[in-house]
Amino acid sequence: MNPTDLQAAELAQDHVNGERLLEAISSLASFGGRDDGGVSRQTLTEVDLASRRYLIDQARSMGCEVGIDECANLFFRRPGLDNDLPPVLTGSHADTQPVGGTLDGAYGVIAGLEVIAALNDAGIQTLRPIEVVAWTNEEGSRFGPGTMGSSAFVEPARLAEYRGSRDGDGISFGEALDSALAAVSDVPRLAMARPMASYVELHIEQGPILEAENVPLGVVDGIQSVRWYRVECQGTMAHAGTTPMDRRNDAMATAHRVAQRLYEFAAAEAATQVRLTLGRWLVEPNSVNTIPGRVEFTIDVRCVDEAVLDRFEAMLNETINTQVASPATVTATCFFRRASTKFPEHMQRLVEKACTRAATLAGRKLPITLTSGAFHDAMYLVDHCPTSMIFVPSIDGVSHNASEATAPDDLVLGAQALAYTVAALASS
């Protein structure tokens, strides 16, 4: 970083206005705001469309150009000195779970706009343009799958399939998208997959690590690898009273023995930080005095190290083919997998520098590096341009819940770290 870049970055960071940031978070939260403090703003619903109009008006009032692409991803652009250069992109998503909080996604979008406001206040003109994005349908709760906007942006061919996805009322994503685009006919259309210089996403951690370490800022080095499996155990339904233990084919007892092996694997591999969840269970006939004839359960297994998941899969396949699984017939099917995401080293170092300065000035503990357990839009952007993420703590590690919260001071520090990072990237 040359002296000018450094100066711009520090100036931007120092001009972040905490009060304005927190007010803007509250204002966006009023779209779909709930009495319990949560937010219900699923993608492309009426309240989501209203919040998009609000964001467009806010951005324009700050001097931004506004554009939208075919997947209704919204871009707010602050011009640079050389507008032929690919822009630095920041932001996140503004849609929520059916019952979500005020921060998941929204925080990254609002903080991006605060960075632009800080640059305006500081009177800084960056070399590159800066764009703030609000990705469409990150949550995937109304239309599956999630991260539609970011994944379609980097690979537009995905959009055709996404358009066919339907919500619970039978409305297709394509129909909802066309309505959303028609509602902002005043906004120019932008190309998908446009070149970007870099992408930085600020997000709440949605986990307990930063809080437990009492650290306000986290440098995200990547996103864990994940695999989902469906394990089906087929036994024989029989009378709980009349069937001796040695003549049973109890699907639950078998499922239990298989699960035992999986939990043992997770315990033995604890040092790898592997995460194992057996979250969804279907038991038939699910009656107190009938031996279960069929049990199905899901596995969600994640790890930074892909090799651990390979070992897990080998162990799972070996388990269901041994006598642990008998006498039931056991099958395991992988129905979702995504390899781990690694953010570039130079991006992590820049984020670390930004976080270190913000934390130091605030008299707080230095940032730590951690890996995201959840998916984010950054997971797809990393295929498109150098990408990084910054995390702030989640109180009690809670998210996807009305009680989702982060200490206001931490929210401000996160926006400061983002301002430094974006300004530095836009200066070279």
Strands (E), 94-167: 130-135
Is the peptide bond prior to 285 cis by the omega test (within 30 degrees of 0)? yes
- SS3 helix, strand, coil % of the chain, rounded to 5? 40, 20, 40
Cβ closer to its own copies: 171 or 283?
283
Q: CA 192, 168, 145: angle at the middle one, nearest 5? A: 35
The least distance separating its own copies from the CB of residue 27, rounded to whole angstroms, comes to 27
Nearer to its own copies, 175 or 300 (CB): 300
Instruction: Give the nearest distance from C-beta 169 to its own copies in angstroms.
Output: 21
In angstroms, give the least distance from the CB of 230 to its own copies.
9
Secondary structure in 3-state letters for 351-419? HHHHHHHHHHHCCCCCCEEEEECCCCCHHHHCCCCCEEEEEECCHHHCCCCCCCCCCHHHHHHHHHHHH
- What whole-number distance in Å separates Cα of residue 53 and Cα of residue 58? 9
In whole angstroms, give the CA distance from residue 275 to residue 107: 27
Q: Which amino acid is at 312?
A: F
Cβ at position 397, least distance to its own copies in Å: 6
Q: Using the minimum distance from each CB to its own copies, give the nearer residue, 182 or 239.
A: 239
Distances (CA, A) of 46 to 51, 91, 390, 400: 9, 22, 30, 20
- The Cα 3–Cα 69 span in angstroms is 36
HSE value, Cβ hemisphere, 13 Å, CA-based, for 33? 10
CB of 299 to its own copies, least distance (A): 8
Smallest separation (angstroms) from its own copies to the CB of 334: 12
Shortest CB 380 distance to its own copies, Å: 16
Give the residues lining the site for its own copies (CB under 8 A): 205-209, 212, 224, 226, 228, 238-247, 250, 252-253, 256, 259-260, 263, 266, 270, 273-281, 283, 286-292, 298, 300, 302, 372-375, 397-400
Task: Report, in Å, the least distance between residue 271 CB and its own copies.
Answer: 11
User: What is the DSSP track for 68-113?
Assistant: E-TT--EEEEE--S-TTSPPEEEEEE----TTB-SSTTHHHHHHHH
